[in-house]
């Protein structure tokens, strides 16, 4: 079983992004997904910057995959998508059907978690079109994974999101700009003020969502560390961690140890507000089931 680091969700400075991936190069992850997946207005890094990071990670022994945007609304975004999908050096993670169209007939791409893959027939179509791996849609449960693992095409790998604030929705409007009562096109890059997203709480102060530009995330991170042994039993090939602003070293080492020892480790720093794992158990996503 391999460990992957998903694409960065937040708007960090160029210097912070380069420093972050310099640290990742030294940590025990096997696969790293790179690229802007949330908002094309975030231009701190251009395509060549991401390629430079990819080259550095490849030199450190990591498998690098370039991720595409999840919601495209402009011709300029389509042009960037074409550049990613036609690159000759790295595999691609498709997070939108437009990327699937551009990748049709190519082999070795990854169908990302935002592609609607809810049955074996869909997996078969994607596999026939060149997908080597699919990422379980984040809202699906263990029970659904069991069924799909039995029916998926032979040779198609499975990846599961196991740690991080869950990307729940994407909108043509910008939630962060709206929170400051300014239009999206004059957003002033307000999301760069929130390295971990902008918290949105209920009236009784429950962490409900994180506002992250055009994206809404779960208010607390999903944590499936206790389910690693079960995921191993289900022959899952890759476990995905989402980049975090803190505790990255501890999170990666905890999952690495659990994978290597095939045990349900639980030694992780608890973030403010705790964790969630409800989707995995077929419950509301924000629920937390404490499994020891």
- The residue written with tokens 């082999």 in the block is 107
Residue 279, burial from CB neighbour count under 10 angstroms (0-12, 13-18, 19+): buried
pTM: 0.95
d(CA 2, CA 141): 20
pLDDT (tens, 9 = 90+) of the chain, 292 residues, equals 999 999 999 999 999 999 999 999 999 999 999 999 999 889 899 999 999 999 999 999 999 999 999 999 888 899 999 999 999 999 999 999 999 999 988 889 999 999 999 999 999 999 999 999 999 999 999 999 999 999 999 999 999 999 999 999 999 899 999 999 999 888 888 999 999 999 999 998 889 999 999 999 999 999 999 999 999 999 999 999 999 999 999 999 999 999 998 665 557 888 888 999 999 999 999 999 988 6
Calculate the alpha carbon distances from 84 to 11, 60, 81, 102, 188 in Å.
20, 22, 5, 10, 27
Nearest to 126 by CA among 104, 148, 146, 143: 104
The pLDDT score that the predictor gives to residue 45 is: 95
CA angle, 170 then 216 then 240, to 5°: 90
Tokens linked to 259: 């994978």
Query: What span, in angstroms and rounded, lies between the C-alpha atoms of 211 and 263?
Result: 34
Tokens of 239: 């476990």
The CATH fold assigned to 2-281 is TIM Barrel (3.20.20)
> What confidence score (pLDDT) does residue 267 get?
72
Give the pLDDT of residue 150.
96
Cα distance between residue 236 and residue 232, in whole Å: 6
Contact criterion met (CB below 8 Å) for 170 and 70: yes
Query: What span, in angstroms and rounded, lies between the C-alpha atoms of 16 and 49?
Result: 13
Strands, E assignment, 152-258 = 157-170, 198-201, 207-212, 215-223, 238-241
Give me the residue spans of the domains in the chain.
Answer: 2-281
Task: Report which of 160, 109, 231 is spatially closest to residue 4, judged by C-alpha positions.
Answer: 160
218 in Cβ contact with 277 (< 8 Å): no
């Amino acid at each position: 079983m391999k460990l992957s680091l998903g694409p960065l969700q937040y708007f960090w400075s160029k210097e912070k992004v380069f420093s972050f991936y310099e640290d990742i190069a030294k940590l025990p992850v096997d696969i790293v997904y790179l690229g802007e997946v949330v908002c094309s207005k975030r231009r701190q890094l251009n395509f060549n910057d991401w390629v430079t990071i990819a080259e550095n990670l490849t030199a450190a022994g990591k498998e690098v995959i370039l991720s595409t945007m999840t919601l495209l609304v402009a011709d300029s975004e389509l042009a960037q998508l074409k550049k990613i999908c036609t690159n000759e050096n790295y595999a691609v993670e498709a997070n939108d059907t437009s990327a699937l169209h551009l990748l049709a007939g190519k082999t070795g791409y990854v169908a990302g978690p935002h592609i609607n893959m809810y049955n074996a027939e869909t997996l078969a179509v994607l596999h026939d079109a060149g997908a080597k791996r699919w990422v379980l849609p984040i809202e699906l449960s263990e029970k659904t994974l069991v069924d799909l693992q039995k029916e998926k095409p032979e040779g198609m790998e499975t990846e599961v999101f196991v740690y991080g604030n869950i990307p729940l929705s994407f909108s043509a409007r910008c939630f962060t700009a709206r929170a400051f009562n300014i239009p999206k096109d004059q957003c002033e890059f307000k999301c760069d003020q929130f390295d971990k997203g902008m918290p949105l709480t209920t009236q009784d102060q429950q962490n409900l969502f994180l506002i992250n530009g055009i994206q809404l995330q779960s208010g607390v991170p999903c944590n499936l560390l206790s389910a690693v042994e079960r995921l191993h039993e289900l022959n899952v090939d890759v476990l995905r961690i989402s980049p975090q602003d803190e505790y990255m070293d501890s999170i990666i080492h905890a999952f690495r140890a659990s994978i290597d020892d095939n045990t349900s480790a639980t030694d992780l720093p608890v973030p403010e507000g705790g964790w969630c794992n409800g989707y995995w158990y077929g419950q509301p996503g924000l629920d937390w089931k404490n499994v020891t």
